[in-house]
Amino acid sequence: MNKANTERILSTYTNESVIDASGVAQSIIEEIQKKAFDESTITKAVWKIDSLTSIINLGSEAGEYQHTDFDDIDDYNNYNTTVTLDRMGDFDISVIVNYVSTLNPKLISSTPTFSKRIEVSLTNYSLLDTLKYHHVVSY
């Protein structure tokens, strides 16, 4: 096999793994979006920011050990899992959830806001680097 063929095969695997990673990330983001915005919004509406989960408490609550137990968006903060696909193997996934500025969702907030950014990071043996996908959910 010559160098050009090897590069073409590697490029094909990389392209396929990027497409698969996009599908996996989108699936996780859709799952997260179906949850309540915050623990405090599960059963009622809130109007005050100080009713929202504090920064230090972002993450799953007691008794929520698996993603099927999660009931709000920030329960996924620091969630890690592996998804295995037939052809491309294991995709290692990590999720970070942060409050972000409502006016500039690229800016992580040091206090609660009515906007949360979901960051899904994926790695796979055929990816050249970690892929990161972001989605902002506002209340």
Collect the ranges in the chain with pLDDT lower than 50: 5-6, 9
Q: How much is the pTM?
A: 0.88
* Domain range list for the chain: 3-138
- The predicted structure's pLDDT at residue 2: 57
- The predicted structure's pLDDT at residue 7: 54
- The predicted structure's pLDDT at residue 47: 95
Residue range 70-97, pLDDT digits in tens: 999 999 999 999 999 988 889 999 999 9
Rounded to 10 degrees, the C-alpha dihedral 23/102/67/128 comes to 40
- The predicted structure's pLDDT at residue 45: 94
Q: How far is the CA of 2 from the CAs of 7, 8, 10, 58, in angstroms? A: 9, 10, 13, 51
